Amino acid sequence: MKNIERVILQNLIYNEEFSRRVAPFLTTEYFHDPIEKMVFQSIQNFISIYNALPSKEAIIIDLDKKRDITEPQFKQLGDLMENLTEEENKPEFQWLLNETEEFCKDKAVYNAIMESIHIIEDKSKSQTTTAIPEILSDALAISFDTHIGHDYIEDADERYEFYHRIEKRIPFDLEYFNTITGGGTPTKTLNIVMAGTGVGKSLFLCHHAANCLSQNNNVLYITCEMAEERIAERIDANLFDMTIDNVRELPKAIYDQKLSNLQSKIKGKLIIKEYPTATANANHFRGLIDELWMKKKFRPDIVFIDYLNICASARLKNGSNVNSYTYIKAIAEEIRGLAVEKSIPIFSATQVNRGGYNNSDVGLEDTAESFGLPATADFMIALIATEELEEMNQMMVKQLKNRYNDVSTNKKFILGINRGKMKLYDVKKDEQGGLLQTNQTKETQLGVGIDGRNFDEKFSSEKKFANWSI
């Protein structure tokens, strides 16, 4: 009686459609029997080189060349190959696919559990226990992708419908942000605010969180820097339209009345969760979202993470063996992956580097710690404060990357800021100092970056950014 491994090997040789569909999802690690593993490796190598199914003879010749095979093993190989014959009555194709998919899932989970034990026993130098949930999650997510792609001609009607489908977006309460994003932030995106210390990163995040809540969205605000109560205090100031100092001085009865008035108008919920600095990663955030659904039936429409650089990576251990580019890019990729998985937009922030602190015009090269962050983000802006702007209670916004619209249109604009009330507001067009204009150059037409170069090409290695100021 043949086991599932041998059924799979048999059909990889004699069933071209099966081989084409499942070969990309099979790995040598799924075959625990050393003899079956060797046969699969031979089949895999042949398909990779010749783009065709191997014959039994080709496999036998290939295995005969191996010098590390013992005599007993070669006999076992001979017995196995003798049993791998083409059958007249092939198994039902969909059944075979389903069984193979289940086989892959079972083996992936088993391997993930063994890898997790290895990490727990501290035998892994590159991974910590925080990586275990993602390892298991990836194993459980194994699935055969049966979609073979978009046929340009045959799927034209579907494509046309896509063009005219209204994409779910969460709008801003700021005119120019809606303009540059095409009406708001889409789902499955990572959006980054960059600024120096004290310029207004957290203020921007709190203002937009309050705006999203006012639109009856469920908002999850994750803070890795300030206490939950401090974030809630800022939201109070924004929604009450009062300074933080005045909020603190409110009598309890008046405070309750203002909160009750808000509750009557707002149908969404706001959850604020604090994590210690540099301890929480995307797996913690995923677990929190799942737990909020189980316990409170709360599912966020948008998530704020304050802020990305003081999160941890689920895959990598921060230390001497991992450079800042790799580490911060890993965090960004993990958080963006969470946005895609949960079908939500995520907003976060990052610091400028030392060269950008006193700079009146920052760019992507001023991103603190890692250029890998703008390579991963869908939308990225810089908040710029000068003494002159501060005196007028204003700040400048500069687009750094924009996958939603033309980054060169309205590349810079002015926002009003009320720090006491934790509010931002639009500045009239005639008070923008001529900033609101299309400033599209040949370079910006070529790409989405500040100089038109591909982000991954520009920032992918330390050698490439060695000449940039950090």
Which has the closest alpha carbon to 94: 144, 138, 141? Answer: 144
Q: Taking a C-beta distance cutoff of 8 angstroms, is the pair 168, 217 a contact?
A: no
Distance CA 208, CA 234 (A): 11
At 361, list the tokens.
């015009």
Q: Taking a C-beta distance cutoff of 8 angstroms, is the pair 7, 86 a contact?
A: no
Query: Cβ of 385: how many Cβ atoms within 10 Å?
Result: 17
Residue 137 is inside which H or E element, if any? Answer: helix 132-140
Q: pTM of the predicted model, to two decimals?
A: 0.64
Distance CA 180, CA 411 (A): 8
Structural domains of the chain ordered from first start: 4-140 (1.10.860.10), 169-459 (3.40.50.300)
Dump strand ranges (E) for 252-301.
270-274
Query: Cβ of 142: how many Cβ atoms within 10 Å?
Result: 16
- Provide the residue-wise pLDDT of the chain in tens; the chain has 470 residues: 468 898 999 899 988 888 888 888 888 989 988 899 999 999 988 988 888 888 888 888 888 887 777 888 888 888 888 888 887 777 888 888 888 988 998 888 888 888 888 888 877 666 777 777 777 777 777 777 666 678 888 889 988 887 877 778 999 999 999 999 999 999 999 999 998 888 899 999 999 999 999 999 999 999 998 899 999 999 999 999 999 999 999 999 999 999 999 999 998 999 999 999 888 899 899 989 988 988 889 999 999 998 898 898 887 876 657 777 788 888 999 999 999 989 999 999 998 754 444 555 565 555 545 567 888 899 999 998 888 888 899 999 999 999 998 888 888 899 999 999 999 999 888 777 666 554 444 333 333 333 333 434 433 333 333 333 22
The amino acid that residue 34 corresponds to is P
b/e burial code for range 235-254 (CB count within 10 A of at least 16 → b): bbbbbbebebeebeeeeeee
b/e burial code for range 38-71 (CB count within 10 A of at least 16 → b): bbbbbbbebbeeeeebbeeebbbebbeeeeebee
Distance CA 412, CA 113 (A): 50
